[in-house]
Amino acid sequence: EKGGGKFGPSGPRFIKILLELAERGVTPRYCDSISAEALQKEDLFDRDGLDPVHGGLAPERAERKRRQVANLCWAFAEVHAKLRRARPLKARFLVLEFCASSGYVALPLAKAFPEVDFVLVDMNQRSVEIAHKRIASSRLQNVTVVHGLIQELPAEYQ
């Protein structure tokens, strides 16, 4: 299909999947306002390196990033559960995050979903270095970082 490129799902196919999931009742629960207490209950940021402030964000921006990640985590959980039921015996799922920076989104998701492998791709060397430090601090075993352009992604991820 046109529009997707070889490094990710094509636009029309992705939209088709989302529509099919919606028809089956998979609707992510989004929350515009989430408290720090609710985030602590979710346990997404409990390890060193997982909180956005460990990536160098200012406190106010880090709070917005926490909300974003918590919402994405809930949506990802629903999609992941549907995919797991559809393909229960398949190999581990792989999630690629392009323009990942230092892992603000993927690292808490990797903590919440240890059965999924995450690959962070970013062209900024400083962001990649910070991502490596955050991964080491958080002791995550299911995250890989690739420094470079999307077009230069290693064959194992294509």
Q: Domains along the chain?
A: 33-152 (3.40.50.150)
Query: What is the value of pTM for the model shown?
Result: 0.66
Q: Assess whether pLDDT exceeds 90 at residue 157.
A: no
d(CA 9, CA 18) in angstroms, rounded, equals 12
Confidence at residue 143, expressed as pLDDT on a 0 to 100 scale: 95
Residue 17's Cβ-count burial label (10 Å; 0-12, 13-18, 19+) is middle
Q: What is the pLDDT of residues 111-130, one digit of tens each?
A: 888 888 999 999 999 999 99
DSSP string, 34-77: --HHHHHHHTTT-STTTSGGGGT--HHHHHHHHHHHHHHHHHHH
- Selected residue with higher pLDDT from 142 and 47: 142
pLDDT digits (tens, 9 = 90+) for 94-117: 888 998 999 988 998 888 888 889
